[in-house]
Homo-oligomer: A and B are copies of this chain.
Amino acid sequence: MSPGVSVMTRPRGVLAPVVTPFDAERSPDARRFVRHCRWLLEQGVGLAVFGTNSEANSMSVAEKVALLDALAEAGLPPSRMMPGTGCCAFTDSVALTRHAVRLGCAGVLMLPPFYYKGVSDEGLFRSYAEVIERVGDARLRIYLYHIPPVSQIPISLDLIERLLDAYPGAIAGIKDSSGDWTNTRAMLDRFQPRGFDVFAGSETFLLATLRGGGAGCITATGNVNPGPIARLAARWSDSDADAQQAALDRVRAALQNFPMIPALKCAIAHHSRDPGWAQLRPPLVELTQTQAGALLQALDAAGHVMPGLLEAV
């Protein structure tokens, strides 16, 4: 570890799994990506690029490396970045994680390998251990990614304990996208006191997580409603915190009637007056015109705005 790097800022508050813009050829669009990331930072949320909502697994390792480099070259602070780096092949996870660590990213959000189902905790322990040992860098901070509805590979409390015992420096926290508050609560009680930072997987549980001593949330809707979510994370002990949470819930409810990733891109396309933003990679498909109209109306009714988006450069 080089001098000056030893005091790392640990991510707290709100991060967005940044949606990835694609051009007309469905290639990652670095220009739109940098612009959206800069706007998110201005709104007070960090950059969990290459998450589920980023269509990260629909991109090759080389495409992700190029996007990360574009952010760094544009001068965006790696200390505000937590790229997703967990792939099915540990050789891919190692390559991407190593690149993120060298750029100085605050941490990485790591899916377990997700092709084989019903694998053992021993196998998952080895998967994470393999990456940690091969990256071999004291700056590595891994946030485990527990998202059983999509990955189908849960990260059990026993596995977390074993990883924390073996790699207390590298295992830094978790994003809990189980949608199961009992599970988040158990992680907060059992591991947050050991400095293991628990992030809720959506702002639905932001206030409860912060009151329980957790670190914040990493949430899809952070892409379109970043300011108000970041505000609650900063002022959760204010007297109007429950009212703030209720306002966030109304915006989320408007989105949740639609497929989330197409809906996020539709909202960004609309507010940035840039229809190209709606492009997706298969197997995801865009909203129909009817869906898009209904979504924008519902968001409007929930008081949703995206201030400063047009001015972001």
Residues in A lying within 8 Å of B, measured CB to CB: 26, 52, 57-61, 63, 88-92, 95, 112-117, 119-120, 122-124, 126-127, 129-130, 149-153, 281-285
Is there contact, CB below 8 Å, between B282 and A130?
Answer: yes
Is there contact, CB below 8 Å, between B59 and A285?
Answer: no
Is there contact, CB below 8 Å, between A282 and B127?
Answer: yes
Q: Which residues of B contact A95 (CB under 8 A)?
A: 60
Q: Which residues of B contact A92 (CB under 8 A)?
A: 60
Is there contact, CB below 8 Å, between B63 and A283?
Answer: no
Q: Which residues of B contact A282 (CB under 8 A)?
A: 90, 113, 123-124, 126-127, 129-130
A58 in contact with B283 given A63-B89, A91-B63 (CB within 8 Å) = no
Could you give 5 example pairs across A and B, Cβ below 8 Å?
Answer: A63-B89, A115-B150, A117-B150, A122-B285, A130-B282
Closest B residue to A62 by CB, please name it.
B91
Q: Which residues of B contact A127 (CB under 8 A)?
A: 282-283
- Pick from B59, B60, B112: contact of A283, CB under 8 Å: B112
Q: Which residues of B contact A90 (CB under 8 A)?
A: 58, 281-282
Closest B residue to A25 by CB, please name it.
B134
Is there contact, CB below 8 Å, between B59 and A89?
Answer: yes
Q: Which residues of B contact A129 (CB under 8 A)?
A: 282
Docked pose: A284 CA to B130 CA in angstroms: 13
Q: Which residues of B contact A114 (CB under 8 A)?
A: 114-115
Closest B residue to A122 by CB, please name it.
B285
Q: Which residues of B contact A116 (CB under 8 A)?
A: 57, 150, 283-284
- Pick from B88, B120, B152: contact of A285, CB under 8 Å: B120
Is there contact, CB below 8 Å, between B58 and A61?
Answer: no
A283 in contact with B61 given A26-B130, A116-B150, A130-B26 (CB within 8 Å) = no
Contacts A52-B115, A58-B89, A116-B283 aside, 10 further interface pairs with beta carbons under 8 A come to A57-B88, A60-B95, A88-B88, A90-B282, A117-B150, A119-B283, A120-B283, A123-B282, A123-B283, A126-B285
A119 in contact with B89 given A26-B130, A130-B26 (CB within 8 Å) = no
Is there contact, CB below 8 Å, between B152 and A117?
Answer: yes
Is there contact, CB below 8 Å, between A283 and B89?
Answer: no
Q: Which residues of B contact A151 (CB under 8 A)?
A: 115
A283 in contact with B113 given A61-B60, A130-B26, A152-B152 (CB within 8 Å) = yes
Is there contact, CB below 8 Å, between A89 and B117?
Answer: no
Docked pose: A129 CA to B116 CA in angstroms: 26
Q: Which residues of B contact A63 (CB under 8 A)?
A: 89, 91
Pairs A-B, 4 closest by C-beta atoms = A123-B283, A126-B282, A57-B115, A119-B283
The smallest beta-carbon distance between A218 and chain B, in angstroms, is 17
The smallest beta-carbon distance between A118 and chain B, in angstroms, is 9
- Pick from B89, B120, B123: contact of A57, CB under 8 Å: B89
